């Protein structure tokens, strides 16, 4: 019945299956596909074991042979169903078998039951025999055979379809192993069913040994579910970002649905096509041209390349809308060579809108800060203007009285020329005071006008004297210093004049802000605010020192880098932030802050020496 060679193969296979299953179960960490494979292997072990026992039974013992044959049905029908379940688990990345899949076991279960109860109904065998030409099959045997064919063909079709749509080499190797493993018993059954080849009963388990070997190779050698094929694809398709996988010759290998929806259909990109060929046939070449150019750069440098790609998309109704994608191209290195490219398309449209809204919000905050600063400055200026206005008013009244006195004294013999000269001298003195007040008012108005212009529009860089800027600062800060009982002390360690190239109004704004902060940092009873002007071989240094409590370390780290205020609701945190921006943009300088060893804080401005011209005793240096 069964040759010795086949018996040897069966015996070795059973031992190998039992050993491998036992070892794997003890090792643990078994996934669904591993358990299904072990079910297939054990089913075949039962099949082969029954055939080995059948060989030991006498040919005349029909009942014993029938028992062994019925036992083989614990393996045969189940093996076909198991192949289908393994294919479904592979392509869907299953970790748990859905309940509906258990219906696939209905026919195998019926087959086993009917095989063991065949003497009662003869649905499996109308006449049982181990001799093929003497067997008369019952009606259910055809049902079982058709079902087994359907399972095996379906498993091969599923695996082949998956291989066609997934060009990954690992997947292709795995699907080849599965497909060939399922095809071998299918072909053997087909040849035996239609009596093309006269196979014996042991041909089926021999064929399934090939299935077990190839399936095991795919599962355990290729680590089949270390990457879950369909599950991974579904996850990638759920991303809003798109990806494109290319070969080293720019052949399109794979992409996900977001890429296909936004870029693929619009540019005619499909699998198994070369990008350069697609580019020539595309109407809108910008996307593909940028992609091909970046791919070339990526190939030359061997490093990742990023660029921004705008794209116009149609609305659901009418019109179009603009979207922006950040494209990152990464070379895929295989054995120290570029084996392909991965292009990721990240949608940054919302981020760009958020950045734009943030910039607009910051711009509004800056404007509000400037308006508040201008309002505060005007309030102080209005107070400063009272003194010269009152002086002018008093002077005009005094001159008017002198004019009346002069008119009344005309023709008076007691009034001589010396008296008239005295009246004229007093009038000249009052006029001089009026001119001084007008000059002071003119300086105030010029300072305010300059600051107002700098706050409302961009002012060009020009050459100006540092002393002119300091003079404007003194005028603009006079009221605030006086109201807070503070005194501004100016110290200059170099002689002559310093001429700066930049925006005088911007520098005045920065110094005003630093002095205002120094005033706020002083003790309630006021104090001294020191403005120092120094120079060295590298820079002109302007520093403002207060005599307050200093700057805490946690605040020091945030200065100039972000909008931070220690004044609560009374501050916006924009002052130093804007000041630092002005010094960088207008003077190519830097700002810094430190705590003075003797107490208080020092804020400094360093302006590069190449942008400053020093004059000493009329000589420019």
Low-confidence ranges of the chain (pLDDT < 50): 223-231, 281-283, 564, 568-573, 617-621
Asked if residue 621 and residue 478 are part of one domain, the reply reads yes
Asked if residue 395 and residue 292 are part of one domain, the reply reads no
Asked if residue 180 and residue 34 are part of one domain, the reply reads yes
Which of 418, 442, 457 is the last residue before a domain boundary?
457
Asked if residue 322 and residue 375 are part of one domain, the reply reads no
Please check whether residue 335 lies inside any domain of the structure: yes
Asked if residue 54 and residue 38 are part of one domain, the reply reads yes
Asked if residue 277 and residue 135 are part of one domain, the reply reads no
Nearest to 175 by CA among 215, 139, 220: 215
Please check whether residue 617 lies inside any domain of the structure: yes
Please check whether residue 516 lies inside any domain of the structure: yes
Which of 417, 442, 457 is the last residue before a domain boundary?
457
**458: which strand partners?**
none
pLDDT at 572: 40
pLDDT at 90: 79
pLDDT at 607: 92
Which of 426, 457, 488 is the last residue before a domain boundary?
457
Please check whether residue 289 lies inside any domain of the structure: yes
> How far is Cα 380 from Cα 374, in angstroms, rounded to an integer?
10
DSSP strand E in 184-300: where? 242-247, 252-255
Please check whether residue 430 lies inside any domain of the structure: yes
CB contact at 8 A, 140 and 124: yes
Query: What is the pTM for the complete model shown?
Result: 0.42
Query: How many domains would you assign to the chain?
Result: 4
- What domain range is 217 assigned to? 4-229
Asked if residue 408 and residue 481 are part of one domain, the reply reads no
Asked if residue 275 and residue 388 are part of one domain, the reply reads no
Nearest to 363 by CA among 510, 371, 349: 371
Please check whether residue 247 lies inside any domain of the structure: yes
Please check whether residue 178 lies inside any domain of the structure: yes
Asked if residue 337 and residue 437 are part of one domain, the reply reads no
CATH of the domain at 268: 3.30.450.20
Nearest to 534 by CA among 494, 499, 570, 571: 494
545-595 pLDDT tens trace: 998 888 888 787 777 765 545 554 444 445 677 788 888 888 889 999 899
119-146 pLDDT tens trace: 999 898 888 877 767 788 889 988 988 9
Asked if residue 356 and residue 329 are part of one domain, the reply reads no
Please check whether residue 111 lies inside any domain of the structure: yes
Instruction: Please name the helix (run of DSSP H) or strand (run of DSSP E) that holds residue 575, with its range, or none.
Output: helix 574-587
CATH of the domain at 527: 3.30.565.10
**CB-CB neighbours of 600 under 10 Å:** 21
Asked if residue 385 and residue 265 are part of one domain, the reply reads no
pLDDT at 351: 87
- Residue 23 CA to its chain's centroid (Å): 45
Asked if residue 218 and residue 251 are part of one domain, the reply reads no
């Amino acid at each position: 019945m069964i040759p010795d060679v086949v018996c040897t193969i069966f015996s070795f296979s059973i031992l190998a299956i039992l050993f491998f299953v036992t070892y794997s179960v003890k090792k643990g960490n078994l996934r669904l596909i591993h358990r299904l494979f072990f079910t297939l292997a054990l089913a075949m072990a039962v099949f082969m074991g029954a055939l080995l026992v059948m060989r030991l039974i006498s040919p005349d013992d029909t009942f014993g042979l029938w028992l062994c044959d019925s036992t083989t049905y614990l393996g045969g029908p189940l093996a076909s169903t198991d192949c289908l379940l393994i294919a479904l688990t592979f392509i869907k990345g299953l970790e748990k078998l859905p309940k509906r899949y258990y219906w696939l076991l209905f026919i195998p279960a019926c087959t086993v039951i009917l095989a063991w109860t065949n003497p009662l109904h003869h649905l499996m065998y109308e006449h049982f025999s181990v001799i093929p030409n003497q067997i008369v099959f019952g009606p259910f045997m055809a049902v079982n055979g058709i079902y087994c064919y359907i399972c095996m063909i379906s498993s091969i079709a599923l695996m082949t379809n998956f291989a066609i749509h997934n060009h990954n080499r690992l997947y292709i190797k795995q699907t080849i192993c599965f497909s060939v493993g399922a095809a071998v018993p299918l072909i053997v059954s087909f040849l035996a069913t239609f009596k093309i080849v006269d196979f014996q009963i042991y041909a089926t388990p021999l064929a399934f040994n090939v299935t077990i070997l190839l399936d095991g190779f795919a599962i355990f050698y290729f680590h089949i579910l270390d990457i879950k094929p369909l599950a991974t694809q579904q996850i990638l398709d759920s991303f809003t970002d798109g990806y494109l996988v290319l070969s080293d010759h720019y052949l399109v290998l794979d992409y996900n649905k977001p890429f296909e929806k936004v870029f693929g259909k619009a540019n005619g990109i499909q699998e198994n096509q070369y990008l350069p060929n697609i580019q020539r046939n595309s109407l809108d070449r910008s996307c593909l041209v940028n992609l091909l150019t970046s791919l070339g750069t990526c190939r030359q440098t061997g490093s990742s390349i990023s660029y921004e790609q705008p794209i116009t998309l149609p609305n659901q109704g009418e019109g179009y809308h603009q979207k922006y994608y950040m494209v990152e191209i990464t070379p895929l290195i295989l054995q120290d060579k570029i084996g392909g490219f991965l292009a990721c398309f990240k949608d940054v449209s919302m981020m760009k809108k958020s950045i734009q809204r943030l910039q607009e919000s910051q711009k509004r905050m800056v404007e509000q800060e400037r308006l508040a600063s201008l309002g505060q400055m005007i309030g102080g200026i209005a107070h400063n203007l009272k003194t010269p206005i009152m002086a002018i008013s008093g002077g005009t009244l005094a001159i008017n009285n002198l004019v009346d006195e002069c008119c009344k004294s005309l023709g008076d013999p007691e009034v001589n020329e010396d008296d008239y000269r005295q009246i004229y001298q007093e009038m000249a003195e009052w006029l001089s005071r009026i001119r001084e007040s007008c000059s002071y008012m003119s300086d105030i108005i010029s300072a305010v006008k300059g600051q107002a212009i700098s706050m409302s529009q961009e002012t060009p860089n020009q050459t100006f004297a540092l002393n002119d800027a300091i003079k404007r600062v003194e005028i603009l800060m006079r009221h605030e210093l006086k109201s807070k009982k503070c005194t501004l002390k100016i110290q200059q360690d170099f002689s002559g004049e310093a001429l700066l190239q930049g925006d005088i109004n911007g520098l005045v704004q920065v110094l005003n802000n630093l002095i205002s902060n120094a005033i706020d940092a002083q003790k309630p009873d006021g104090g001294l605010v020191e403005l120092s002007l120094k120079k060295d071989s590298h820079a002109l240094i302007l520093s403002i020192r207060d005599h307050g409590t200093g700057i805490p370390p946690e605040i020091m780290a945030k200065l100039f880098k972000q909008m931070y205020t220690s004044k609560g609701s009374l501050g916006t945190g924009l002052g130093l932030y804007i000041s630092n921006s002005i010094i960088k943009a207008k003077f190519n300088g830097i700002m810094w802050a430190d705590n003075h060893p003797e107490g208080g804080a020092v804020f400094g401005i360093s302006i590069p020496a190449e942008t400053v011209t020093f004059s000493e005793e009329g000589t420019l240096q």
